[in-house]
Amino acid sequence: MTPPRMHIPFNARDATGRGNEPEVCWRPDASQCSGTKIEAFRRWLSSSCGVETSGYDDMWRFSMASPAEFSDAVCEFVGVVWRERAVQVLSGTRMLGARWFRMGTINYAEHALSLGVVGGIEGRRGAGGRLQTAKTGSPVN
């Protein structure tokens, strides 16, 4: 007979007070992080939304504590162009059955064919403020 399997939570503590978290093998230094898109988002979050975070862990905590505000900020930062702005970012506090960006519509092709993905819409606009395709530079209708 096989003994029953025991479930040990990931962050359980042993008798010495140590957790069972894996050892971190490498962390980038500040100079390696300063030019990343996630760092640009962190700075933008502070200047545009007034949300102060000191790094990735703080941003993760913000995303868990305020998922609607975080998700709306990500959409704004990456330059989502809405055809119809969502009337509600998140329909509730429970993830099971939650509806994201209710009544919001976007043109998928417009996003897939435009220049850039992250960092704001200004890099994706051509003459007259119209979006352009990445390959030809032709306006997206």
What is this structure's pTM? 0.63
What average pLDDT does the segment 101-129 reach? 66
What average pLDDT does the segment 122-133 reach? 50
Distance CA 79, CA 41 (A): 12
Output the six-digit token pair for 114: 């435009």
Q: Report the pLDDT value the prediction gives residue 31, as an integer from 0 to 100.
A: 87
What average pLDDT does the segment 80-91 reach? 90
- The better pLDDT of the pair 132, 75 is held by 75
Q: Report the pLDDT value the prediction gives residue 84, as an integer from 0 to 100.
A: 92
Q: Report the pLDDT value the prediction gives residue 119, as an integer from 0 to 100.
A: 42
Which ranges of the chain does DSSP label H, i.e. alpha helix?
30-33, 37-49, 56-65, 67-78, 108-113
- Residues with Cβ within 8 Å of residue 135, at least 6 apart in sequence: 113
Strand-strand pairing, 88-90 and 100-102: antiparallel
Instruction: Give residue for tokens 């007034």.
Output: 50
26-67 pLDDT per residue, tens: 888 888 888 888 999 999 999 999 999 998 899 999 999 999
CB 131 within 8 A of CB 140: yes
pLDDT at 99 over 50: yes
Written as one letter, the residue type at 1 is M
pLDDT at 7 over 60: no
